């Protein structure tokens, strides 16, 4: 039977198991939107801005591990997707974006709503396509999904001109495995690599595992934990690695890096072996690269060969699927106990506990860290937390230990403000869960707050917690610490958030004291037929401790005074 | 000594491939010394010769990530033939003409056009030979130079084969077959 290009797109989505797509219609994608009326199996979510659509698809993908799909029209529709695509690229999130394009005959003529979208998105996609022949459409979409979810996942964009959406051809979805001559198959680790790796572990006295998002993406949590237990090795997490192994495990040191724990950073600097598992030595993780982990040999396992020796020179790099490699490595390492190393680590852990503000009494002030800590306790650490970017994000990372993979969704690599709320919508829809909490700041929330309408229209039961400190808090913190307290362009006026929610007919409450937190959270939890919003009016001049100033040595942390010194 | 590497890169002959390669070089901060691209004996594939300054391992792994890049061969590490071609328009008069012709003979360059006050000579060779030739012509007055950039090939029987490459079965209805490339190990998914 002859199908139009538009129908082929939707048939392909169904074959790929897509049940929900996020988008915004417009001229060049209208044939596909029209065809949607004949495909009720696919639920289209109307976003208020295409950036929201790409974050929702991203949130859906991060929460479920399935490919998220965003759809937009040509020109401005497509360019609005770009921030979300770049966000997904940096954090290896599988996503397929379908964009309309002006008809093939008009391409290159500066037609209405024309933009070279494959050109614009070239550096921020894993791969992209401009389909100029309807006969190539089905295969291209098959390939796009394959690329998005295989290897190191990432966003793939398919640009489809309007005339290609209207043109007809026979539809056969290719069932066979896609073959790509330039796409590398991952060979299993070699005997030499495994022997060398086991020898590094055998010689180490002070090893540390650096667990990145690769642990989560390859499903390696269980085996990494087994490896750590067998070799008595502490585990430090990257921001995106949180939850790969339970963070309250006795071997956990918590998060590493700029706002990481004292023990994680000190351990890295003192270590004689770093076991980098599916992470990429981002500058926020290493601090000053010249003084980073000088005493340590480095064993790096990553699925992406280009990450090896990119930022940090490694002694042994193994390219491969993390789970496969660690599964092969674990039987080769000896059962070890490291009492000396752990007695040092435990003194650092105790020091961090002394400085922790979670249980400290603070009069007359509502602290963001307390809000996060109370949300953690209230949700028993079982919620899916989606954050925005800024101080609240770091407090979340410090005060909400995650026990399971895919329970913290956050924009780590690109640091995209505005990510939180739309990504929470995608996550909640993907998981069909009402236990998704968007923790956002007053700054980032206002970048994509138009999606409140989307959440309401779709009745998505997310819990939106705005940590409102009246500032662009993280920027304010940098101004306080490094720019002589010149608070320029960071104090911000916000709308009355509860009234704003009311305008969207979203139930909302405002919290000003710690005593109100629990009852408000349980009030919010009861709403499962749509979004709720809670605003926390927190202390304005608060600082995320500890902090490694950008470019400083990792162990030169600015820390909060210990309890005994207060 | 220079740290230059010469890579022979097979890429799929698709729109935008050159853009993908050059954009990666730019955004990752690699310096391209020279880049040439042309068709191969297989019409589905093009071959690039890329000369870069330093860090070829990092560059190779970034290149390999591009979906349209089929194989990469670092020919610097093995015996190789590299050639650059230049057309040079040089000023001549009745006094200097024979001297220039003599130089052409030494460098095995061909005169491909002659006019009243100038001639075009064509010279082929490794880069340093071209530089030497240009240096020798300089005193006569060089009016115009155009160079192709370097093309390179490793010596010996081993070849970067394009034969096994089959285009992806984009056309509707056909069944994709697994594809093998020989030179740098399996690229089968």
Residue B78 phi/psi, 5° resolution? -135, 165
What is the pLDDT, as a whole number, of residue A64? 97
Domains in chain A, number = 3
The CA-based angle A164-A168-A173, given to 5 degrees, is 95
**In which region does residue B114 sit, left (phi positive, over 0), alpha (psi from -120 to 50) or beta (all else)?**
beta
Is pLDDT of B180 > 50? no
Chain-chain contact of B61 with A308 (C-beta, under 8 angstroms): yes
Using only C-alpha atoms, chain B has a radius of gyration, in whole angstroms, of: 20
Report the distance separating Cα A33 and Cα A37, nearest Å: 7
Chain-chain contact of A309 with B57 (C-beta, under 8 angstroms): yes
Chain-chain contact of A139 with B15 (C-beta, under 8 angstroms): no
Structure tokens belonging to residue A471: 């500032």
The answer to whether B49 and B72 are in contact (CB under 8 A) is: no
Together in a domain, A516 and A471 = yes
Together in a domain, A322 and A362 = no
What is the CATH number for B118? Answer: 3.30.70.1150
Secondary structure of A513-529 as H, E, C letters:
CHHHHHHHHHHHHCCCC
What is the pLDDT, as a whole number, of residue A565? 56
Together in a domain, B159 and B75 = yes
DSSP string, B15-26: TTHHHHHHHHHH
Please name the residue of chain B whose CA is at the shortest distance from the CA of residue A142. B170
Please name the residue of chain A whose CA is at the shortest distance from the CA of residue B56. A306
Chain-chain contact of A310 with B58 (C-beta, under 8 angstroms): yes
* Residue B77 banded pLDDT, cuts 50, 70, 90: confident
**Cβ-based neighbour number of residue A38 at 10 Å:** 9
Q: Which residues of chain B have a CB within 8 Å of the CB of A305?
A: 61, 64-65
Q: Which residues of chain A have a CB within 8 Å of the CB of B165?
A: 181
Last residue of a domain, one of B147, B163, B179: B147
Domain residues for the domain of B106 are 81-147
Please name the residue of chain A whose CA is at the shortest distance from the CA of residue B164. A181
Last residue of a domain, one of A320, A350, A380: A350
Together in a domain, B94 and B185 = no
For residue A395, give the nearest of A418, A431, A366, A422 by alpha carbon.
Answer: A366
Together in a domain, A333 and A439 = no
Together in a domain, A208 and A329 = yes
Report the distance separating Cα A563 and Cα A547, nearest Å: 18
What is the pLDDT, as a whole number, of residue B178? 37
Highest mean pLDDT among A47-61, A352-366, B40-54, B163-177: A47-61
Domains in chain B, number = 2
Together in a domain, A228 and A288 = yes
Chain-chain contact of A182 with B165 (C-beta, under 8 angstroms): no
ipTM: 0.89
Name the pTM for this structure: 0.93
Report the distance separating Cα A270 and Cα A293, nearest Å: 7
The answer to whether A459 and A429 are in contact (CB under 8 A) is: no
Together in a domain, A102 and A239 = no
Is pLDDT of B166 > 90? no
Closest CB to A305: pick one of B64, B165, B179.
Answer: B64
Q: Which residues of chain B have a CB within 8 Å of the CB of A183?
A: 67, 187, 189
The string of pLDDT tens digits covering residues A353-397 is: 888 888 787 778 899 999 999 999 999 999 999 999 999 999 999
Please identify every residue of A annotated as catalytic. 50, 112-113, 162, 474
Chain-chain contact of B189 with A170 (C-beta, under 8 angstroms): no
The answer to whether A402 and A242 are in contact (CB under 8 A) is: yes
Please name the residue of chain A whose CA is at the shortest distance from the CA of residue B15. A130
Using only C-alpha atoms, chain A has a radius of gyration, in whole angstroms, of: 24
What is the pLDDT, as a whole number, of residue B185? 35
Q: What is the mean pLDDT of residues A104-131?
A: 96
Q: For A509, what's the count of Cα atoms within 13 Å in the CB-facing half-sphere?
A: 15
Residues of B near A (Cβ–Cβ under 8 Å) read 11-12, 15-16, 19-20, 23-24, 27, 57-58, 61-62, 64-71, 165-166, 168-173, 175-179, 181, 185-189
Please name the residue of chain B whose CA is at the shortest distance from the CA of residue A121. B20
The string of pLDDT tens digits covering residues A334-363 is: 999 999 999 999 999 999 988 888 878 777
Q: Is residue A559 part of a domain?
A: no
Q: Which residues of chain B have a CB within 8 Å of the CB of A123?
A: 23-24, 27
| Residue for token pair 């990429």 | A280
Report the distance separating Cα A197 and Cα A320, nearest Å: 14
Q: Is residue A560 part of a domain?
A: no
Together in a domain, B5 and B68 = yes
SS3 label, residue A14: helix
Last residue of a domain, one of A333, A350, A367: A350
Produce one character per residue of A355-390: b if its CB has 16 or more CB atoms within 10 Å, e if not.
Answer: bbbeeeeeeeebbbbbbbbbbbebbebebbbbbbbb
Chain-chain contact of B165 with A174 (C-beta, under 8 angstroms): no
**In which region does residue A17 sit, left (phi positive, over 0), alpha (psi from -120 to 50) or beta (all else)?**
left
A33 to A24, A42, A429, A532: CA distances (angstroms): 9, 11, 21, 30
A255 membership: H or E segment, kind and range: strand A252-255
**In which region does residue A226 sit, left (phi positive, over 0), alpha (psi from -120 to 50) or beta (all else)?**
alpha
Chain-chain contact of B187 with A181 (C-beta, under 8 angstroms): yes
Closest CB to B19: pick one of A122, A138, A178.
Answer: A122
Together in a domain, B2 and B72 = yes
The answer to whether A319 and A308 are in contact (CB under 8 A) is: yes
Q: What is the mean pLDDT of residues A427-442?
A: 98
Together in a domain, B113 and B171 = no
Report the distance separating Cα A298 and Cα A526, nearest Å: 49
Together in a domain, B5 and B19 = yes
Q: Is residue A161 part of a domain?
A: yes
Together in a domain, A414 and A361 = yes
DSSP string, A107-121: TTS--TT---HHHHH
Together in a domain, A392 and A491 = yes
Cα distance from N-terminal residue to C-terminal residue, chain A: 77
Together in a domain, B11 and B104 = no
Closest CB to B187: pick one of A169, A185, A310.
Answer: A185
The answer to whether A242 and A62 are in contact (CB under 8 A) is: no
Report the distance separating Cα A78 and Cα A564, nearest Å: 55
The Cα diameter of chain A in Å comes to 78
Together in a domain, A215 and A242 = yes
Closest CB to B178: pick one of A147, A174, A179.
Answer: A179
Structure tokens belonging to residue B180: 């093998």
Together in a domain, B109 and B61 = no
Q: What is the mean pLDDT of residues A93-122?
A: 97
Together in a domain, B181 and B141 = no
> How far B51 CA sits from the closest chain A CA (Å)?
19
The string of pLDDT tens digits covering residues A13-44 is: 999 999 999 999 999 999 999 999 999 999 99
Residues 6+ apart with CB under 8 A from A359: A373
Produce one character per residue of A485-520: b if its CB has 16 or more CB atoms within 10 Å, e if not.
Answer: eeeeebebeeeebbebbeebebbbbbbeebebbeeb
Together in a domain, A156 and A248 = no
Chain-chain contact of B189 with A305 (C-beta, under 8 angstroms): no
Structure tokens belonging to residue A406: 């895919």
Q: Is residue A181 part of a domain?
A: no
Is pLDDT of B159 > 50? yes
Cα-Cα-Cα-Cα dihedral sign, residues A374, A378, A382, A383: negative
> How far A348 CA sits from the closest chain B CA (Å)?
37
If you ran DSSP here, which 8-state letter would residue A310 be given?
A: T
Together in a domain, A395 and A518 = yes
> How far A182 CA sits from the closest chain B CA (Å)?
4
Q: What is the mean pLDDT of residues A462-488?
A: 97
For residue B92, give the nearest of B25, B143, B27 by alpha carbon.
Answer: B143
Instruction: Taking each helix axis as running N to C, give the angle between helix B56-65 and helix B17-27, from 0 to 180 degrees, rounded to the nearest 10.
Output: 140
> How far A154 CA sits from the closest chain B CA (Å)?
12
Domain residues for the domain of A219 are 191-350
Together in a domain, A15 and A162 = yes
* Residue B171 banded pLDDT, cuts 50, 70, 90: low
The string of pLDDT tens digits covering residues A495-545 is: 999 999 999 999 999 999 999 999 999 999 999 999 999 999 999 999 999
The string of pLDDT tens digits covering residues B107-130 is: 999 999 999 999 999 999 998 999
Chain-chain contact of A182 with B66 (C-beta, under 8 angstroms): yes
Instruction: Write out the E strands in A309-427.
Output: 316-319, 384-387, 408-409
Chain-chain contact of A122 with B16 (C-beta, under 8 angstroms): yes
For residue A215, give the nearest of A206, A201, A228 by alpha carbon.
Answer: A228
Q: Is residue A183 part of a domain?
A: no
B43 to A140, B18, B40: CA distances (angstroms): 21, 16, 6
B144 membership: H or E segment, kind and range: strand B142-147
Together in a domain, B37 and B87 = no
What is the CATH number for A311? Answer: 3.40.50.1220
Is pLDDT of A297 > 90? yes
The string of pLDDT tens digits covering residues A174-214 is: 877 667 887 877 889 999 999 999 999 999 999 999 999 99
Q: Is residue A563 part of a domain?
A: no
What is the pLDDT, as a whole number, of residue B161? 78
Together in a domain, B66 and B90 = no
Chain-chain contact of B169 with A139 (C-beta, under 8 angstroms): yes
Together in a domain, B128 and B168 = no
Q: Is residue A470 part of a domain?
A: yes
Q: Select the residue from B65, B164, B169 to test the A interface by mutation, using most A Cβ atoms within 10 A.
A: B65
Chain-chain contact of B70 with A177 (C-beta, under 8 angstroms): no
Report the distance separating Cα B149 and Cα B155, nearest Å: 19
Closest CB to B187: pick one of A133, A146, A184.
Answer: A184
Average pLDDT, chain A: 95
Q: Is residue A552 part of a domain?
A: no
Residues of A near B (Cβ–Cβ under 8 Å) read 118-119, 122-123, 126-127, 130, 133, 135-136, 138-140, 143, 146-147, 150, 169-172, 174, 176-185, 187, 304-306, 308-310
Percent of chain A at pLDDT exceeding 90: 93
What is the CATH number for A394? Answer: 3.40.50.970
Please name the residue of chain A whose CA is at the shortest distance from the CA of residue B11. A182
SS3 label, residue B58: helix
Report the distance separating Cα A520 and Cα A498, nearest Å: 13
């Amino acid at each position: 039977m002859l199908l139009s290009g538009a129908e082929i797109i939707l048939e392909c989505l169904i074959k790929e198991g897509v049940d929900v797509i996020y988008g915004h219609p417009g001229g060049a994608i209208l044939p596909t939107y029209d065809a949607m009326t004949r495909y009720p199996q696919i639920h289209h979510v109307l976003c208020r801005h295409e950036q929201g659509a790409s974050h929702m698809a991203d949130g859906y993908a991060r929460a479920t591990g399935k490919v998220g799909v965003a759809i937009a029209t040509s020109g401005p529709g497509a360019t609005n997707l770009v921030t979300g695509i770049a966000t997904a690229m940096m954090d290896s999130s599988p996503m397929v974006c379908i964009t309309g394009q002006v008809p093939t005959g008009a391409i290159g003529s500066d037609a209405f709503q024309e933009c070279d979208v494959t050109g614009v998105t070239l550096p921020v996609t894993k791969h992209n396509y401009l389909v100029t022949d309807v006969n190539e459409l089905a295969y291209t979409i098959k390939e796009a999904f394959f690329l998005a979810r295989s290897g190191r996942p990432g966003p793939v964009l398919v640009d489809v001109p309007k005339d290609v959406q209207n043109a007809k051809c026979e539809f056969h979805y290719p069932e066979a495995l896609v073959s790509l001559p330039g796409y590398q198959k991952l060979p299993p680790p070699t005997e030499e690599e495994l022997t060398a790796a086991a020898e590094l572990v055998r010689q180490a006295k002070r090893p540390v595992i650096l667990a990145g998002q690769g642990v989560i993406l390859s499903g390696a949590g269980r085996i990494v934990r087994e490896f750590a237990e067998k070799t008595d090795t502490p585990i430090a997490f990257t921001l995106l690695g949180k939850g790969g192994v339970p963070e309250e495990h006795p071997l956990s040191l918590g998060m590493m890096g700029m706002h990481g724990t004292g023990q994680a950073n000190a351990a890295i600097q003192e270590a004689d072996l770093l076991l980098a598992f599916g992470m990429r030595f981002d500058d926020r993780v290493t601090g000053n690269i010249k003084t980073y982990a000088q005493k340590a040999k480095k064993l790096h396992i990553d699925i992406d060969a280009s990450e090896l020796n990119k930022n940090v020179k490694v002694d042994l790099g193994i390219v491969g699927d993390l789970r496969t490699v660690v599964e092969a490595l674990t039987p080769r390492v000896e059962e070890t106990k490291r009492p000396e190393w752990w007695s040092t680590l435990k003194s650092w852990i105790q020091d961090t506990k002394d400085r922790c503000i979670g249980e400290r009494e603070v009069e007359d002030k509502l602290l963001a860290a307390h809000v996060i800590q109370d949300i953690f306790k209230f949700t028993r650490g079982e919620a899916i937390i989606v954050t925005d970017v800024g101080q609240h994000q770091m407090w979340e990372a410090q005060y909400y230990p995650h026990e399971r993979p895919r329970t913290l969704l956050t924009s780590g690599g690109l640091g995209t403000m505005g990510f939180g709320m739309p990504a929470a919508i995608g996550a909640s829809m993907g998981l069909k869960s009402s236990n998704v909490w968007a923790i956002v700041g007053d700054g980032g929330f206002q970048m994509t707050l138009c999606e409140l309408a989307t959440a309401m229209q779709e009745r998505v039961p997310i819990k939106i917690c705005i940590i409102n400190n009246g500032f662009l808090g993280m920027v304010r913190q940098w101004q306080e610490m490094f720019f002589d307290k010149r608070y320029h362009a960071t104090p911000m006026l916000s709308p009355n958030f509860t009234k704003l929610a009311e305008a969207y007919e979203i139930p909302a409450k405002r919290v000003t004291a710690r005593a109100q937190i629990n009852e408000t959270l349980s009030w919010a939890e009861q709403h499962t037929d749509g979004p709720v919003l809670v605003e926390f009016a927190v202390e304005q001049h608060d600082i995320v401790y500890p902090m490694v100033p950008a470019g400083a040595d990792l162990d030169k942390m600015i820390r909060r005074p210990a309890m005994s010194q207060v | 000594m220079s740290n230059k590497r010469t890579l022979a890169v097979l890429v799929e002959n698709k729109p935008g491939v050159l853009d993908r390669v050059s954009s990666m070089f730019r955004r990752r901060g690699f310096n391209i010394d020279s880049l040439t691209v042309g068709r191969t004996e297989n019409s589905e594939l093009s071959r690039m010769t890329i000369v870069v300054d330093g860090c070829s391992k990092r560059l190779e792994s970034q290149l390999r990530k591009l979906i349209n890049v089929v194989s990469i061969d670092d020919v610097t590490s093995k015996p190789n033939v590299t050639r650059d071609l230049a057309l040079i328009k040089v000023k001549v008069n009745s006094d200097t003409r024979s001297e220039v012709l003599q130089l052409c003979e030494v460098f095995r360059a061909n005169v491909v056009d002659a006019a009243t006050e100038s001639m075009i000579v064509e010279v082929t060779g490794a880069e340093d030979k071209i530089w030497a030739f240009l240096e020798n012509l300089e005193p006569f007055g060089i009016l115009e130079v155009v160079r192709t950039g370097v093309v390179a090939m490793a010596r010996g029987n081993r070849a970067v084969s394009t034969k096994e490459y089959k285009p992806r079965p984009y056309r509707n209805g056909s069944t994709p077959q697994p594809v093998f490339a020989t030179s740098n190990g399996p690229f089968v998914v």
